[in-house]
Structure 1
């Protein structure tokens, strides 16, 4: 039975974030994540530190950070500081950067740079002395803390690399079972290439979620999300047998800013991708009433898909404003249905000693 996490809270101030995470903990959420996007949000580690002081059980971490905006040594130091406030319930997730770095005029990290950052961060967090490029001597993090390091990925090359180096992988490929299975296979193949136990690499899944009764609106936004997945990795249309029958994605991107997943008006960007058929729109986002979303999750996760954590990413997802009713509705109306249908109980407090592999295991 997977744990459930959210990455959208009250971001108006660190105390407001901490209070909202405490509310999520009381509602039964297992993880509270925060994006790292400097131009849109306050510092994630300051927010997490406030939340650590106000909570007792819920897992905490950034989702996602990247090695473009901060050096991996700085990231390791920051998350180790948070781990000192919330021992045993802190995790770190890397990604290429995408929208966050493009807003700063930078390019997302390459697969090689991402792998190097994860390896360096894991070494520092484990207290090892590690080689730092161009540095005169080996580096060591004096306040090292055991924090699992994950990668969020969707493309096959990044997924295989994540299997080689990460403690866990958040797959972002939508909800079609063909894509989910292909992603898990890629992670396991990467782990095997590195001589690791493929079952030792934890799997999480990020699902964009449109919770509500307006199905026409949801269908329109889901087309924008499907186009966003194609924009991110065109290969995701392959396993389900889909074809892109519209204008070239580069041509459409000129009409949407900054991308199909983060457009200010997702209905309007959905109209730009209105040529996508229902079967494609249905393959990438969770949408509809609580019962519909629960059934979609059970369909995606059932039959043995090895998922440790599910992140239900609300859409549209504004990065400002106060508390959202989404946290309470999803926790009280969706999660119990999923757990009932999958026949499991709510997981206990996340514990790196049991929920995550040792960093030295097979690496």
Structure 2
């Protein structure tokens, strides 16, 4: 399996140690959210110079606060600073409470806004000179030079974003999408859009909470405490409903080693190409619990 980790370092030193350990242990990737060290691209620049082959991705960078031309230039600068291929740009429109509530920006048309953003960003990262006049985003004669290819994944959960991800991006990076949601909702729409557009088979990076633990009730409680904040965000609420999940704990991969292995294989069978592990420590021995999960995941990596 292609298994990556969700990186949540508390310091630059921890960031480097985590990335180097993940590469040594055979994990395919490490993914950083928008809060990591204040800017995940800064984190990736540091980690990328201390590693040699592991994929380092953002999951996700928010689109609204950053013009796509600036975003492409930032990605190109990181790719150059890393000195090697391996940067993957995961982007998404985020959520109304953050975009309109915290930033004070208009969130009335996230689908249109994201589609225009992707048109500009992906063309720039291909090396095209881009002139695009949209309702939300415009660039005139924009051009970016990248020393290495920078794939773009979209945080797509609804039909419109899955369509434009298939048409324009290299795939999707998901959260809270169960195997059922991937098989019945995500994969068919994404693959059909990519095929119609003449695009390669898209990646499906599935991020879910994972804990290897013998007490399921305790594992569910730990997941609820860690991931419960996502339960009432509309985008995640819809994908959980599609997957038949009432709470984030219902989407989590929990159980002993044999059970977790079976559940991870079910994700792959449903269409996921990569698994992004959001490791949840459980119980009083949080370090031991985390290590047990990490040991199993490392044993399953390709």
**For the superposition of Structure 1 and Structure 2, which TM-score range results when normalised by the shorter chain?**
0.7 to 0.9
Indicate which of 301, 321, 344 corresponds to 2:268. Answer: 301
> Matches of 2:106 and 2:213 in 1, distance apart?
35
Aligned pairs for 1:66-145 within 5 A: 66-84=62-80, 85-98=82-95, 101=99, 102-106=101-105, 110-133=110-133, 137-143=140-146, 145=148
Deviation of 1:155 (Å): 2.0
> Matches of 1:219 and 1:184 in 2, distance apart?
27
1:203 aligns to what? 204
Q: Is the CA contact (8 Å cut-off) linking 1:171 and 1:183 kept in structure 2?
A: no
> Matches of 2:259 and 2:174 in 1, distance apart?
22
Aligned pairs for 1:173-322 within 5 A: 173-193=176-196, 195-197=197-199, 200-222=201-223, 228=231, 231-236=234-239, 239=242, 283-302=250-269, 305-315=270-280
Rate the CA distance shift 1:119–1:295 in 2: closer, same or farther, 3 A. same
Over residues 40-71 of structure 1, what are the superposed CA-to-partner deviations in whole Å (9 max), with x where a residue is unaligned? 74222221111111101111121101211211
Q: Is the CA contact (8 Å cut-off) linking 1:290 and 1:334 kept in structure 2?
A: no
Q: TM-score, normalised on structure 1?
A: 0.69
> Matches of 2:265 and 2:117 in 1, distance apart?
34
Over residues 269-293 of structure 1, what are the superposed CA-to-partner deviations in whole Å (9 max), with x where a residue is unaligned? xxxxxxx5xxx77641112334332
Structure 2's unaligned 5+ residue stretches are none
> Matches of 1:335 and 1:120 in 2, distance apart?
37
Runs of 4+, deviation exceeding 6 Å: 323-327
1:11 aligns to what? 10
Q: Is the CA contact (8 Å cut-off) linking 2:159 and 2:189 kept in structure 1?
A: yes
Structure 1's unaligned 5+ residue stretches are 243-275, 318-322, 340-345, 347-363
> Matches of 1:144 and 1:23 in 2, distance apart?
26
> Matches of 1:138 and 1:53 in 2, distance apart?
32
Rate the CA distance shift 1:10–1:169 in 2: closer, same or farther, 3 A. same
Deviation of 1:127 (Å): 1.5
Q: Does residue 35 in structure 1 map to residue 36 in structure 2?
A: no
Larger fraction in helix: 2
Rate the CA distance shift 1:79–1:107 in 2: closer, same or farther, 3 A. same
> Matches of 1:111 and 1:157 in 2, distance apart?
7
- Structure number with higher relative contact order (C-alpha < 8 Å, ≥ 6 residues apart): 1
